[in-house]
């Protein structure tokens, strides 16, 4: 554990937590690129772990085997010139594979295993680098960066979140049902909010922003305004 003084010397962090489909991913990307800070997409880490368990045939109810598997994985986030996300699992690009609803559900399952979460703590904290970090997830403000300078908790109604996911998937040419998506979202919310370790909930000092009827641009503007007083740190 670092001391309070050491933590102050660290790069500043903005945490953006909330349930699936609240707009965290888009808002975090836009905020990070506008201020030129690093981005941690922690959901992608859990998605990669879910995919790896599937590929390796590790049982989703075998906590010990899942923990052992995580310790053995090589996960790499690669920054590409166009700003497009490239995520490698054991040297293979899995960026698009992990974006399916199926992988989201697998992620939610492995994310409920305490030893899996514990194994990913250090890797997530390593993203905190100069000039600063925008961290997107469920427990960024509560567990991973409890000393973050700015904590945002994004919410939106389940119906609106299902509608957004539906539009995204239809735009990608996928055949999905809105009713099934709504059920999936409700099931995932329940699992994420009721697990024993790091359940989805706002940090006591988080700013709550409801995005149900606010445009992404307005949410980004609000976050940037809240972040205006934060001072990036230099590399050295």
One of 39, 139, 156, 227 touching ligand DC (CB under 6 A): 139
Regarding 142 and contact with ligand DC (CB under 6 A), the answer is: no
List all residues 6 or more positions away from 200 whose beta carbon is below 8 Å from its beta carbon.
17, 18, 19, 138, 139, 189, 192, 193
Residue 138 as a binder of ligand DC (CB under 6 A): the answer is yes
Stretch that binds ligand DC, among 28-36, 84-92, 133-141, 225-233 (CB under 6 A): 133-141
222 phi/psi in degrees, rounded to 5: -65, -45
Please report whether residue 132 would count as binding ligand DC according to CB under 6 A: no
Q: Looking at 11, 22, 31, 111, which residue binds ligand DC (CB under 6 A)?
A: 111
Query: Which residue from 23, 37, 61 is spatially nearest to 153, judged by alpha carbons?
Result: 23
Stated length of the chain: 236
Of 37-56, binders to ligand DC (CB under 6 A) are 42-43, 46-47
- Pick between residue 20 and residue 211 the one whose CB is nearest to ligand DC: 20
Q: How far apart are CA 131 and CA 13, in angstroms?
A: 10
Q: Which is nearer to ligand DC, 104 or 132 (CB)?
A: 104
- 18 dihedral zone (left: phi>0; alpha: psi -120 to 50; beta): left
| 18 vs 132 by CB, closer to ligand DC | 18
Of the residues 67, 192, 203, 223, which one makes contact with ligand DC according to CB under 6 A: 192
The torsion defined by the Cα of 103, 107, 109 and 110, in degrees rounded to 10, comes to 130
Backbone angles phi and psi of 119, in degrees to 5 = -70, -20
The verdict on 188 binding ligand DC (CB under 6 A) reads yes
18 contributes a contact to ligand DC by CB under 6 A: no
Q: Which positions lie near ligand DC, rule CB under 6 A?
A: 20, 42-43, 46-47, 104, 107-108, 111, 137-139, 188, 192
């Amino acid at each position: 554990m670092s001391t309070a003084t050491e933590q102050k010397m660290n790069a500043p962090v903005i945490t953006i937590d909330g349930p699936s489909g609240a707009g965290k991913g888009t808002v975090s990307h836009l905020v990070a690129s506008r201020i030129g800070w690093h981005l941690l997409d922690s959901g992608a880490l859990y998605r990669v772990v879910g995919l790896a368990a599937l590929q390796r045939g590790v049982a989703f109810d075998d906590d010990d085997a899942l923990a052992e598997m995580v310790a053995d994985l090589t996960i790499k986030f690669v920054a590409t010139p166009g700003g497009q996300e490239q995520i490698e699992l054991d040297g293979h690009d899995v960026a698009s594979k992990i974006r399916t609803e199926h992988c989201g559900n697998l992620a939610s399952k492995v994310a409920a295993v305490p030893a899996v979460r514990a194994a990913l703590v250090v890797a997530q904290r390593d993203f905190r680098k100069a000039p600063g970090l925008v961290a997107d997830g469920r427990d960024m403000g509560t567990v991973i960066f409890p000393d973050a300078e700015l904590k945002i908790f994004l919410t939106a109604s389940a119906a609106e979140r299902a509608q957004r996911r539906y539009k995204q998937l239809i735009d990608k040419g996928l055949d999905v049902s809105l009713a099934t998506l709504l059920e999936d979202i409700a099931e995932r919310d329940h699992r994420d909010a009721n697990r024993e370790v790091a359940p989805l909930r706002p940090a006591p000092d988080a700013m709550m922003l409801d995005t149900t009827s606010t445009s992404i641009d307005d949410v980004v503007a609000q976050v940037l305004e809240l972040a205006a007083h934060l001072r990036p740190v230099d590399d050295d």
